[in-house]
A and B are shown apart, each in its own frame.
Chain A
Amino acid sequence: MSIWLVMALCGAVTFLIRLSFIAAEGRIAFPSGFRRVLPFVPVAALTALVIPELLMPQGTLWLAWDNARLIAGLAAIVIAATTRSVLWTLVGGFVVLGVWLS
């Protein structure tokens, strides 16, 4: 099958997922608890993406001082909490990663 067709299929699936609730709004009644869960969505979804990147950079749990991604990630968490700045979090995270790897 042409690579273009596969891309089109993947693109269509992604778009339909993003459209799902936007299109259904007003046509389907959602349970009342549903809305109360929504504030937790970004924290839950993004933390699930981040934590394995820090603690399992090579696919298995790596809890040690020489795991540079873990150390840099912890530094980034502290920087993000204090500065609330994306820029400083990225700069600080990369600096610590570079220092730890060298």
Chain B
Amino acid sequence: MTIMAASASREFQAGVLALAPLLVGVIPFGMIYGALALSQGLSPAAALAMSSILFAGSAQFLFCQLLGMGAPVTVMVAEVGLLNLRHALYSAAVAPRIAHLHRRWKLALAYLLTDEAYAVIARREAADDTGPYRHWFYLGAGLALWGGWQLSTAAGVVLGARLPADWPLDFALPLTFIAIVVPLIRNRTLLAVAAVSGIVALLAAGLPFKLGLLVAALAGMAVGWRLAGGVR
């Protein structure tokens, strides 16, 4: 193996390994999604396909709920878009790091850009932002999550209806996000960002279309920007 191929494969493996612990939370969530999708009238084929077409856990939940409520198509598309708007922030963070890559790479990494994959990428960049092959790390993390999501969705479609309905498996998602966020809060500025985002998320929870999520994230970022010096 050439040195180049060895480095790329090492980065890829590191990405897979960095993401693997997150699958503990993703798998129950995917299974609940599979069961929920069937209960809201999606066919097994459509439920499975949605995990590849949308590949966004919380948006897939929202899609199923709206489908069950009989929401119009425009509302469904708009709500899914709004819920996923936070991914534009991840896109902005990753963009300069992959600007030199071929268009095929950009398309693939954009498709794989989820909360979990971005969290792993952000943690890596915080610890070590060097390495000419780190896009292979991104790919490894993204594909590990993709595979875990597809398999757990399939398991949910097969087994989901047989799981006891009162098991609070959906709690896996907030727990996973807690495990991601808490280690990222390394200083007072980041603590203030988290505090403001959390409080605004509560205050804005009544806004339609999950807009509160975006408002809260922007409020937290504005505070961070101000504390970091504002306009210089």
Contact = CB atoms under 8 A, between A and B. Distances in A.
Interface string B34-71: 00000000100010011001111011000100010000
B197 interface: yes
A54 B178 CA distance: 11
A21 B88 contact: yes
Interface in B166-190: 168, 171-185, 189-190
A99 interface: no
A19 B94 CA distance: 10
Interface string B152-177: 00000000000000001001111111
Nearest to B171: A97
Contact of B88 (A20, A34, A69, A94): A20
Contacts of B213: 45, 48-49
B178 A93 contact: yes
Contacts of B200: 48
B151 to A, nearest CB: 18
Interface residues of B, number: 89
Interface in B113-137: 113, 115, 118-119, 122
A10 B76 contact: yes
B25 A43 contact: no
B87 interface: yes
A89 B193 CA distance: 22
B86 interface: yes
Interface in A1-32: 1, 3-4, 6-11, 13-15, 17-26, 30
Interface residues of A, number: 66
Contacts of A43: 181, 184-185, 190, 193-194, 197, 220, 224
Contacts of B176: 86, 89-90
Secondary structure type dominating chain B contacts: helix
A4 B199 CA distance: 38
A44 B220 contact: yes
Contacts of B80: 10, 13-14
Nearest to B205: A52
Contact of B217 (A20, A34, A45): A45
Interface string B85-105: 111111111111011000000
* Most A C-beta atoms less than 10 A away, residue of B58, B67, B88: B88
Given A8-B53, A26-B99, A77-B178, A86 B202 contact: no
A40 B193 contact: yes
Interface string B210-224: 001100111111001
Given A44-B197, A61-B202, A3 B168 contact: no
19 contacts: A6-B77, A7-B54, A14-B55, A22-B113, A33-B231, A38-B92, A41-B89, A41-B217, A43-B185, A43-B224, A45-B89, A48-B197, A48-B212, A48-B216, A53-B173, A56-B205, A90-B172, A90-B175, A90-B176
